[in-house]
Amino acid sequence: MSYLYLVDYSSKLGFSENCLVVKKDTEIYERVPIETLEEVSVYGNCQITTQCIHECIKKSIPIIYYSAGGKYLGRVQPEGHIGVKRQRKQALFNMSSISFEIAQSIISAKIHNQIVVLRRYASSRGEDLTEICKYMKILKNKIAVTSSIEEIMGYEGNAARSYFEGLSRLVESEFHFDGRNRRPPKDPFNAMLSFGYSMLLSELYGKIISKGLNPYFGFIHQDRENHPTLASDLMEEWRPVIVDSAVMSMINGHEISADQFQTGDDGGIYMSYEARKAFVRKLEIKFNQQVKYLKYVDYPVSFRRAIELQINSFAHILDDEENAALYNPVLIR
């Protein structure tokens, strides 16, 4: 199955002869048989016809909408499985001790994965980040003895600041940045992170829905209006593994340059069409990379499949009387 991304704002998506047809002006750019599609992502002001939307709904193909800068806006999601019993349990899950244990394990795994990313690139760049990694490991160990979500997220925030300080020392000079920033991103590095995190969030959102879960009933992050909290919770372990690694690989592999970014009307820094196209291609390759990082699977699976298996694990916890041992966050090496 394939994923279709519309990133050129002059493109228009229609439907003809059982194919989704991408046009630029009046020229046909690409034809994709609808039977081969799993998802369509639309960025900025790209247009899509009503007929095309109807055909995607009939075939249960979600259409995801993003802003020009990659912010997740919403989706056309065909009605599918809704697990009422699961969602009743899910709504109360954040009040259980099991949810706290899983929150500890997910955030601990995130910090572990951040440390591994730093060490990988520090080695290749000849940088000494020993003190930063040591401090982050101390914060990770403290999470195991916390007593509240607020404490966990406090340690996570401190670890994140150290992590991005480390990353800023490992990127090419033209991509230097001063910490994590967003809404809007103030530099090319953060523009890529924000774009990538939106794609990752959407990936989890769709898979959460497919398991009959509600993406808005979370247990780690605080509830916010119109924010899919559960998707945010379950993506934490994947941020450094998928998005951060892809961004670092593109920058230090000279697959993208700082002059491929532009200033938006809000003063933020955003990717040009060519940059978006290259980055989407990079992340799609990453999603399909075969890995053996899951403890309970002894054969390689793609990152996309691994995300789905992790969401399966979370769903089983709700089904099987809340056994925290059923959830093992991904740990890279």
Q: How far apart are CA 255 and CA 223, in angstroms?
A: 37
Cis peptide before 300 (omega within 30 of 0): no
| CATH 3.100.10.20 boundaries in the chain | 2-76
Q: Which portions of the chain are predicted below pLDDT 70?
A: 1, 79-81, 321-322
Q: How far, CA to CA in Å, does 168 sit from each of 118, 171, 248?
A: 10, 6, 10
- DSSP secondary structure of 266-312: TS-EEE-HHHHHHHHHHHHHHHT-EE---TT--S-EEHHHHHHHHHH
**pLDDT score at 322:** 65
Q: Which amino acid, 274?
A: E
CA distances from 139 to 37, 135, 143, 145, 148 (A): 43, 6, 7, 11, 15
* Full-model pTM: 0.89
Query: Is residue 324 a contact partner of residue 101, using CB atoms and an 8 Å limit?
Result: yes
Query: What gap in Å lies between CA 275 and CA 109, rounded to an integer?
Result: 30
Q: Please give the structure tokens belonging to residue 77.
A: 């999601």
Q: DSSP of 210-222, one letter per residue? A: HTT--TT--SSSP
Which residue spans of the chain are classified as CATH 1.20.120.920? Answer: 84-326
Rounded to whole angstroms, the Cα distance separating 24 from 22 reads: 7
pLDDT reported for residue 321: 63
Closest CA to 218 of 94, 103, 304: 94
pLDDT for residue 159: 97
Q: Encode pLDDT of 5-34 as tens digits.
A: 988 878 899 999 999 999 887 788 889 999
Q: Which helix (H) or strand (E) segment is 122 a member of?
A: helix 97-125
Nearest to 25 by CA among 7, 12, 41, 38: 12
The 3-state DSSP class for residue 112 equals: helix
- Residue 114 neighbours by CB under 8 Å, 6+ apart: 136, 159, 160, 163, 240, 244
Radius of gyration of the chain (CA): 20
Angle between helices 97-125 and 149-168 (to 10 degrees): 10
What is the fold of 84-326?
A: Four Helix Bundle (Hemerythrin (Met), subunit A) (1.20.120)
CA distances to 9, 261, 278 from 272, in Å: 11, 5, 10
Q: What is the C-alpha separation between 156 and 153, in angstroms, rounded? A: 5
The reply to whether CATH 3.20.20.100 applies to domain 2-76 is no
Q: What is the pLDDT of residue 25?
A: 77
As a whole number of angstroms, the distance between CA 258 and CA 173 comes to 10
Q: What does the alpha-carbon distance between residue 162 and residue 160 come to, in Å, rounded to a whole number?
A: 5
